[in-house]
Amino acid sequence: LKEVFKERSNILRQLSKTSKELEGIKVNLQSLKNDEASAKNDVQKLLELGQKQREEMKSLQEAFQKQLNEAAEKAEKQQATINFLKTEMERKSKMIRDLQNENKSLKNKLLSGNKLCGIHAEESKKIQAQLKELRYGKKDLIFKAQQLTDLEQKLAVAKDELEKAALDKESQLKALKETVQLCLSSVLHNQPPAKTLIPSKPTEKLTSPVTKGSKVPFQVTSTKVCNDCFIGRNLHSQKRLSLKTKHCIN
């Protein structure tokens, strides 16, 4: 369009120039009326020039019309492109609005997700605290299990010692039985025979009380010694067993 307007302005300038020339020609015709011969020639020339200028003007008008038509076609095409661009802009603006709405929804989702993440973080903290408590409880259980194993070992040792003590007690009882049997056999062996000579006063010797200086018969002393041995060994075994039970309890 700018080129068309430029060409149009050039044509107008040329037309203005031609109009000025025509005005000059008119002036010349007015001045040359006196000289008709020269005027006729000049008029003929001017007519020829005018004809040429008219032809040039026609050609220029045709070219200008072509340019106008081309400009109109270009304007129509540009209008079509403008309409297409408008529709594209409307479609893109709609897409932008949709994207903005999606962005808002995504922001809301992100906010809700952040809230959920905070809740999950708090829950994970609680779970970690519970895991720590479970770890401490596991350590306590391991320690208690170790204590139980130690106690089991101690109880096994105590059981072995008690079994040994029972065996020792059985051996002690056997030894006591043997000593009792020996004492009884010695007592029975040291008794006086039944067919011995009885003294003149047997009733007095048998019924006479024991004085301070008198000796206890052998049977009584031997049974007393056996009882003392049995009591001493029994006390010794009881003390040993009580010490072992205290050690097991500790």
Dihedral-angle region of residue 159 (phi above 0 means left; psi in -120 to 50 means alpha; beta otherwise): alpha
pLDDT per residue over 22-36, tens digit each?
Answer: 888 777 777 766 676
- The per-residue pLDDT for 209 is 38
Q: What is the number of other CB atoms lying within 10 angstroms of the CB of residue 25?
A: 19
Number of residues written out for the chain: 250
Is 191 a residue whose pLDDT tops 70? Answer: no
Higher pLDDT, 52 or 190: 52
- Phi and psi dihedrals of 209, rounded to 5? -75, 160
Least confident segment among 104-108, 117-121, 243-247: 243-247
User: Which of 48-57, 138-147, 207-216, 232-241 is the least confident region?
Assistant: 207-216
pLDDT at residue 249, as a whole number? 43
State which amino acid sits at residue 108. Answer: N
State the Cα torsion 130-132-133-139 to the nearest 10°.
150
- pLDDT, one tens digit per residue, over 140-182 is 778 877 877 887 788 788 777 777 777 777 777 777 777 777 7
Distance in angstroms (rounded) separating the CA atoms of residues 229 and 30: 188
Using alpha carbons, select from 177, 183, 176 the residue that is nearest to residue 224: 183
Q: What is the per-residue DSSP string for 154-185? A: HHHHHHHHHHHHHHHHHHHHHHHHHHHHHHHH
Instruction: Identify which has the larger pLDDT, 184 or 78.
Output: 78
Q: b/e string for 201-233 if b means 16 or more Cβ within 10 A?
A: eeeeeeeeeeeeeeeeeeeeebeeebeeebeeb
Instruction: Dump strand ranges (E) for the chain.
Output: none
Q: What is the residue-averaged pLDDT of the chain?
A: 72
Higher pLDDT, 190 or 217: 190
CA quadruple 160, 162, 165, 171: dihedral positive or negative?
negative
